[in-house]
């Protein structure tokens, strides 16, 4: 059950509408149909989607429409104040970016001992939003060579979770060794070095799906071999963030490792897919304003011709040909060109730039790219999470992030696993 906790006069209350979404599935009704039938606003619908309080009048309208009782659509529970547990599971994150993975793991009940990030703006974003986090703004090569037990004040084997997603360039293949030396000179080498030196109970390694086939699969084969040589049993799965409460189609390769001496004591399962898959209507209509980059005048006028959910084939071919230029003669569908999103679809994968000709993400209601905040909504960052640096840097930080809700779901399963050896 997902819920959101609010402070009502010093009393913590958890609100959850999971029952409502299950009821809609049973009645074969979607959220838009519920809105139209009940007369609630888009804003109310969006608040429901985020498990936020709505008026009693709105709940009554929903219950009347669905012919059900209030307790069949909403759960409200008193929550005990969160206690800081000195025995809380500890994590260290590498290549932390602007905090999508770290925020999800924190939400799942982990306490961070340190986050390493080289990009100045991303590191500042982490510090701004979590002053209590130990954010290490440095080249990971300068940290991995240190005595990590001393640096993080933790003994080898005591760390609960090492997390992060190192960019994985092509590796060398000296003989058939396929060991740590084969990764030397790559950023993954430093992730593997942390793993070797600290021997955490579990690790989480996330990357793009394409890593599975990079260099005909040899890159990932090297990675898994290094994990196994370090003393870990691994599980891998490609997860689509859209299946886990993220309004975005975004596939990530998730690799989870359990230290071999704990394999008989720890069981891990990847999270189960959600019944309801959110769409842009759930996050865009009440999105706060934020920085963004407009289209040029000519591009804006052309996009005004494209219907929501459409692309270049949906406008005058002469106009499309003039816009696409050499791309016009390319093979394939080229569905990313002049692509306009629809409110009734999830976002395509959020990118690091507001506008790229072959992978357009035009706003469904306006002829413009998504703002930084809209992209952050698609990545399930909370609205209060701030991004530092230039607008371009903010777009990059959001685009590179792991969706918070996806990280949370994986973090919960890892937390369950570690409970078995606590």
Annotated active-site residue 168? The verdict is: yes
Residues 6+ apart with CB under 8 A from 104: 402, 403, 404, 405, 406, 407, 408, 409, 410, 411
Long-range contacts of 324-327 (CB under 8 A, 24+ apart): 327/357, 327/358
Token digits of residue 42: 């888009």
Reference 217, options 249, 192, 253, 193; nearest CA is: 253
Q: How many CB atoms lie within 10 A of CB 28?
A: 7
Residues forming beta bridges with residue 12, ordered by sequence position: 7, 79
Helical residues (DSSP H) of 131-280, grouped into ranges: 140-144, 148-151, 187-198, 218-229
Whether 165 and 207 have beta carbons less than 8 Å apart is answered as: yes
- In which element (H, E) is residue 257 found? strand 251-259
Tokens of 225: 């071999």
Give me Rg for the CA atoms of the chain. 23
State residue 335 phi and psi, 5-degree precision. -70, -10
Nearest of 208, 191, 205 to residue 407 by alpha carbon: 205
Catalytic residue among 63, 168, 378, 388: 168
Largest CA distance in the chain: 71
> Residue 61: how many CA atoms within 13 Å on its side-chain side?
15
CB of 15 closer than 8 Å to CB of 71: no
How far apart are the C-alpha atoms of 283 and 376, rounded to whole Å? 10
CB of 27 within 8 A of CB of 17?
Answer: no
Q: Which two tokens stand for residue 241?
A: 């963030």
Of 342, 333, 324, give the one whose Cα is nearest residue 281.
Answer: 342
Counting DSSP H helices and E strands in the chain, the numbers are: 16, 10
Q: How far apart are CA 297 and CA 70, in angstroms?
A: 50
- Which residue is it, tokens 């659509």? 73
**Sequential DSSP letters for 258-284:** EEGGGTTT----PPPPPS----THHHH
As annotated, the active-site residues are: 168
């Amino acid at each position: 059950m997902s819920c959101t906790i609010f402070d009502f006069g010093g009393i913590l209350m958890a609100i959850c509408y999971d029952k409502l979404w299950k009821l809609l599935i049973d009645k074969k009704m979607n959220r838009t149909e519920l809105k139209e039938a009940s007369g609630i606003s888009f804003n109310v619908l969006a608040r429901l989607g985020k498990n936020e309080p709505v008026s009693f009048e709105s709940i009554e309208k929903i219950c009347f429409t669905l012919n059900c009782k209030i307790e069949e659509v909403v759960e409200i529970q008193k929550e005990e104040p969160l206690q800081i547990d000195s025995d809380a599971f500890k994590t260290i994150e590498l290549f932390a970016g602007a905090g999508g993975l770290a925020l999800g793991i924190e939400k799942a009940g982990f306490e961070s001992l340190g986050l390493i990030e080289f990009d100045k703006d991303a590191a500042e974003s982490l510090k701004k939003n979590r002053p209590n986090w130990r954010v290490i703004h440095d080249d990971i090569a300068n940290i991995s060579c240190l005595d990590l037990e001393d640096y993080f004040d933790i003994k080898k084997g005591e760390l609960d979770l090492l997390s992060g997603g190192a960019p994985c360039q092509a590796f060398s293949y000296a003989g058939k060794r396929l060991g740590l030396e084969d990764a030397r000179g790559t950023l993954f080498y430093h992730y593997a070095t942390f793993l070797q030196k600290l021997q955490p109970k579990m690790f989480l390694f996330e990357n793009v799906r394409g890593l599975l086939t990079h260099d005909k699969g040899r890159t990932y084969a090297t990675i898994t071999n290094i994990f196994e040589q370090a003393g870990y049993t691994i599980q891998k799965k490609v997860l689509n963030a859209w299946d886990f409460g993220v309004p975005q189609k975004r596939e990530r390769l998730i690799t989870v490792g359990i230290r071999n001496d704990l394999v008989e004591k720890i069981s891990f399962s990847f999270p189960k897919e959600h019944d309801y898959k959110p769409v842009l209507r759930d996050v865009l209509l009440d999105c706060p304003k934020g920085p963004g980059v407009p289209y040029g005048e000519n591009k804006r006028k052309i996009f005004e011709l494209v219907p929501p959910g459409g692309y270049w084939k949906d406008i005058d071919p002469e106009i499309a040909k003039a816009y696409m230029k050499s791309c016009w003669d390319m093979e394939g569908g080229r569905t990313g060109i002049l692509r306009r999103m629809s409110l009734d679809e999830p976002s395509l994968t959020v990118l690091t730039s507001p506008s790229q000709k072959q992978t357009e993400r035009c706003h469904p209601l306006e002829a413009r790219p998504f703002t930084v905040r809209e992209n952050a909504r698609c990545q399930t960052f909370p609205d209060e999470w701030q991004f530092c640096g230039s607008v371009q840097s903010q777009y990059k930080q959001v685009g590179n992030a792991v969706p918070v809700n996806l990280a949370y779901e994986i973090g919960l399963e890892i937390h369950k696993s570690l409970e078995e050896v606590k």
